[in-house]
Amino acid sequence: MANYAIGDIQGCYDSLCRLLELCEFNAAHDRIWLVGDLVNRGPKSLETLRLIKSLGPAAVTVLGNHDLYLLMVAEGGAKFRAKDDTLQAIFDAPDCSELLDWLRQQPLCYTEDDYCMVHAGLLPQWTASQARALSSEVEAALRGPDYRQFLKNLWGSDPAGWSDELSGWPRLRVIVNAMTRMRFCTPEGIMEFKAKGKLSNTPAGHIPWFDAPNPRYADSVLITGHWSALGLKVLPHFLALDSGCLWGGHLTAVRLEDRSVFQVNCSAEEAQPLD
């Protein structure tokens, strides 16, 4: 049995299929760990969702910001940006409701042994076990009868930092923003959402989230995606797997048992112009 952690797919279904073939993935005894952003911008989001759903327990995934955006658009919590989005095929599909219901069941954070997988990152105040517990609060909202109300209250960047005293929508919003959107924060864990791009774009007074001093998650191995400009990083306690497939880069898998790296080039049909 092998476990392959795979970076952001974003609808690049053909690249995903080629990567699974390169890894000699066998769903009968292997597993893939997906860091989220399964959909959007790439040309085959529908096919991607169908494939991953069909794999059942052989595919472990967490939600990324684009996956949540899909759910929000479906429920009127966000405006559909038709020019940039490639989600219409999902909405037009006969199994749309089934796919969206499946997506709502996925977690923000997945932990197993020493590994902790989230799409974007963790705030320095959180241990991996605490992050998993906080993720379960969001999961309860997404899976519950009031999930539409949750999705309509999800958008926004306030509050920017964590407090154990937070409750209601603000509490859930901070959890979601840290785990699906964060790139930079202050050493104390106050998030900043305007800056993107390379580490050279780090705003004054801020640091990349993974450089926070003495984070409480330090005894875990974090697996993340989200930050394509950061590129592939395979470090003892940190795997950053978004290698920019959508933008003409690569789709990457790392075999967790030995840290072997597998990559395929993005196809010309999938590559999008850089923002």
SS3 annotation, 183-235? CEECCCCCEECCCCCCHHHCCCCCEEHHHCCCCCCCCCEEEECCCCCCCCEEE
Q: Is the pLDDT of residue 87 over 90?
A: yes
pLDDT band at 176 (very low <50, low <70, confident <90, very high): very high
Q: Per-residue pLDDT tens for 13-47?
A: 999 999 999 999 999 999 999 999 999 999 999 99
Mean pLDDT of the region 91-96: 98
Residue 248 confidence (pLDDT): 92
d(CA 224, CA 165): 27
d(CA 54, CA 195): 37
Q: Mean pLDDT in the chain?
A: 95
**Spans of all domains in the chain:** 3-265
d(CA 254, CA 123): 24
Residue 275 confidence (pLDDT): 56
Q: List own/partner pairs for 198-207 with CB under 8 A and 24 or more apart.
A: 198/229, 198/230, 199/230
- φ and ψ of 183, to 5 deg: -125, -50
Total number of residues shown for the chain: 275
Q: Return all residues near 95 (Cβ < 8 A) that are at least 6 apart.
A: 50
Q: Per-residue pLDDT tens for 132-169?
A: 999 999 999 999 999 999 999 998 999 999 999 999 99
Bridge pairing between strands 184-185 and 191-192: antiparallel
pLDDT band at 70 (very low <50, low <70, confident <90, very high): very high
Structure tokens, 94:
């006969």
DSSP states of 22-86: HTT--TTT-EEEE-S--SSSSS-HHHHHHHHHHTGGGEEE---HHHHHHHHHHTTSS---TTT--
Torsion angle defined by CA atoms of residues 8, 69, 215 and 32, in that order, rounded to the nearest 10 degrees: -30
Give the CATH number of domain 3-265; options: 2.40.50.320, 3.40.50.2000, 3.60.21.10, 1.10.10.920.
3.60.21.10
